[in-house]
Chain A
Amino acid sequence: MKPPDFTYHAPETLEQALSLLASLDNARLLAGGQSLMPMLTMRFAFPDHVIDLNRVAGLAGITQTGDTLRIGAMTRQRDLLDHPFVQQKIPLLAQALALIGHRQTRNRGTIGGSLCHLDPAAELVSVMTALGATIEIAGPNGPRDVAMADFPLGYMTPSLAPDELVTAVHLPVPPPGHGASFLEFSRRHGDFAIVSAAVMLTRHSSGHLADAVITLGGVGPVPLRLAKAEALLAGQTPTPDLFTQAACLAREIDAMEDAQIPAWYRRRLAESLTRRALTAAHQSLPGAA
C-alpha cells in the first residue's frame, strides 16, 4: 500500500497552481490528503502529477464581512470548528464539523478538499448545502461562483473544469435566533454517515415556524433537500405531531441501495433522523421549553 510514482509540484501562488493545472495532464490536486492519500496508497488513483496546494499563499483563512463568512478552501476543518464565530453563530456547521472523522483527520483535512471530493455522505457536503453556501472557483478565465446546491453534478462529480480549483466557500450567516441540528447515523463513531439530517428552523414572533431547511446526506448521490417537508412546516405551529408528519415524507425519497444498506433502511433512517433533528432544532430555538 505505497503510492504509485508521480511528479510532485508545490506551487506557492494561485497563479502558479492554475498554470500547472492548465498545463499538466492527469494531475490531481492535493489538499489535506485525507481522501487522496488513501486513494494513492490503495492505488485507486494513478495521477502523473500531484499539485500540492498546501504552500499556496492565501488559500487558508476565515474572514467575516457583514453577514457573510468567507472560508478559504485550504482552511483546516479543525480551524473552522474552533472559530468563535462558527461556534456562536452557526451551530449547524459546528455540529457537523465535530462529526467529521476524528481529531487527527480534522487537523489536516480541509474544507475545500472535502467539498471537491464530494462524498455523498460527507458532513461538509450536506451542511454547506443546508446553509446555502456559495463556492468560489478560480480558473484560467478568472473567478466564478457556484451555488452549493448546483455544485454537485452527480455522484462524486463537482462542477469543476479540469483547469479550475475551489478557492473559498462563502457562507451567508444564518439569522440570529434560529434553531439548528445536525444528526447522523453511522455504524461507529467517526465513520462516514450512512444517513445524515441537517435542519434549520426560524420562527415568527407569533410562535409559528417561518422557515425550515431540511437537508439529507447519504441517501442519494448528492444531498437532498426535503422540500415537501419544508413546505409542510412553513407557517405552522411546531408540535411533535407536526415533526412526525414532516419526517414521514422522508419515506417517499429516492434512496440509494448497496450491498450493505437497502434503500428501505436508508429511508427509515432519514425519517428518524429528520424527526429528531427537527425536534432538536426546535428545542434549540431561544426560549424553547
Chain B
Amino acid sequence: MTEPQTRHITLRVNGQAREITTPVRKTLADALRTDLGLTGTHLGCETGLCGACTILVDGRAMRACLMLAVQAEGHAITTIEGLAPSPSELHPLQQAFCRHHALQCGFCTPGLLTTLVEFLHDVPNPSEAEIREAISGNLCRCTGYDTIVAATLEAAAMLRPQP
C-alpha cells in the first residue's frame, strides 16, 4: 500500500484562519474534532442520518460527516463553539434551550443549534410547523422534541429586530 495522500488546506473556522494538513480521505467532522480540537461537533451515525454533526459552511447548515476535510479549503465554517458571542454570553438560541429544558444529554444539541441558526436567519418569524419541518433531520433521543420547538419560537422572537 502506498503512503496515504495528504493535502494542506486553509479555511476559516469560527472567524479565524486555520491551516491543517489532512489525509484526503478524512471527513470534515473528524478534522474539526481531532485536528482543530472542536469536539462540539458530534458524530452520531457518520452516514448523514442523525444531524448531530451539523455545521455551517458559508452560512449553510450541512452534515460535517458527509464532507471531506479537503473540501473545506477556502470556505468559512461555523461550529457550535462559534455560536456564543463571548465566554460570558450565550446566543439567544442557547439561552432559550436552557430555559426550556430543550436538551437532556446534550449530544444532539450542537447539531440542532447550528441548524436552527441558519433556519432563523432564513425564516425569522417561523410557524411551529415550519420549525418542525426544519429540524426533522435532527434526531433527539431524550427530549421528545416539544421543548425544542418552544425554545426555537422564543429565540426567534429574541432575534427579531424589535419594532
Q: Which residues of A contact B (CB under 8 A)?
A: 1-8, 10, 30, 33-34, 37-38, 40-42, 50, 52, 54, 78, 101-105, 107-108, 188-190
Instruction: Decide if A41 touches B65 in the complex (CB within 8 Å).
Output: yes
Given A7-B5, A33-B66, A33-B67, also A102-B25 (CB < 8 A): no
Residues B60 and A78 in contact, CB atoms below 8 Å apart: yes
Beta-carbon contact of B47 and A41 below 8 Å: yes
B68 close to A (CB within 8 Å): yes
Name the residue of chain A whose CB is nearest to the CB of B6.
Answer: A8
- Taking the closest CB of chain A, its distance from the CB of B124, in whole angstroms, is 16
In the complex, 7 of the A-B residue pairs with CB atoms within 8 angstroms, ordered by the A residue number, are: A2-B25, A34-B66, A102-B51, A103-B134, A103-B137, A104-B115, A104-B137
Total contacts A-B at CB 8 Å: 101
* Chain A residue at minimum C-beta to C-beta distance from B5: A7
Residues of chain B from 58 to 113 with CB closer than 8 A to chain A in the complex: 60-63, 65-68, 70-71
Contact B67 A108 (CB under 8 A): yes
Name B47's contact: one of A30, A38, A190 (CB within 8 Å): A38
Q: When the two chains form the complex, which single residue of A3, A10, A104 contacts B61, counting CB atoms closer than 8 Å?
A: A104
Give the interface centre of B23, B61, B63, B119 by most chain A CB atoms within 10 Å.
B63
Decide yes or no whether B17 CB sits under 8 A from chain A. Answer: no
Complexed CA–CA distance, A188 and B49 (Å): 12
Q: Which chain B residues numbered 95 to 151 have a C-beta less than 8 Å away from chain A?
A: 115, 118-119, 133-138
Residues of B within 8 A of A103 (CB): 61, 115, 118-119, 133-135, 137
Contact B24 A1 (CB under 8 A): no
Is there an interface contact between B68 and A8, defined as CB atoms closer than 8 Å?
yes
Does B40 sit at the interface, judged by CB under 8 A? no
- A residues within 8 A CB of B66? 33-34, 37-38, 105, 108
Which one of A4, A5, A102, A104 has the greatest number of beta carbons of chain B within 10 Å? A104
Question: Do A108 and B63 touch (CB < 8 A)?
Answer: yes
Does A105 lie within 8 Å of B71, measured CB to CB?
A: no
Q: Do residues A107 and B62 form an inter-chain contact, with CB atoms below 8 A?
A: yes
* Of B1, B57, B115, B136, the contact of A190 (CB 8 Å cutoff): B136
Could you tell me the distance between the alpha carbons of A108 and B66 in the complex, rounded to whole angstroms?
A: 9
Decide: A108 and B27 in contact? CB cutoff 8 A. no
B46 near A: Cβ within 8 Å?
A: yes
Given A8-B5, A8-B7, A103-B134, A54:B25 Cβ within 8 A: no
Q: What residues of B have a CB within 8 angstroms of the CB of A50 in the complex?
A: 24, 68
| Chain B positions within 8 Å of A104 at CB level | 48, 51, 54, 61-63, 115, 137
A8 contacts across to B, CB distance below 8 A: 5, 7, 24-25, 68, 70
Q: How far is the CB of B132 from chain A (nearest CB, A)?
A: 8
Q: What chain B residues lie within 8 Å of A190 (beta carbons)?
A: 136-137
Further pairs besides A1-B47, A3-B25, A34-B66: 10, Cβ < 8 Å: A4-B25, A6-B5, A10-B70, A38-B48, A38-B49, A41-B27, A101-B137, A102-B51, A103-B135, A104-B63
* A42 to B, closest residue via Cβ: B47
CA distance A38 to B62 in the complex (A): 14
**With A8-B70, A34-B48, A37-B48 in contact, do A2 and B30 touch (Cβ < 8 Å)?**
yes
Task: From known contacts A33-B67, A38-B47, A103-B137, infer whether A5 and B115 are also in contact, taking CB-CB under 8 Å.
Answer: no
Complex Cα distance, B67 from A108, in Å, reads 9
A112 to chain B, nearest CB (A): 16
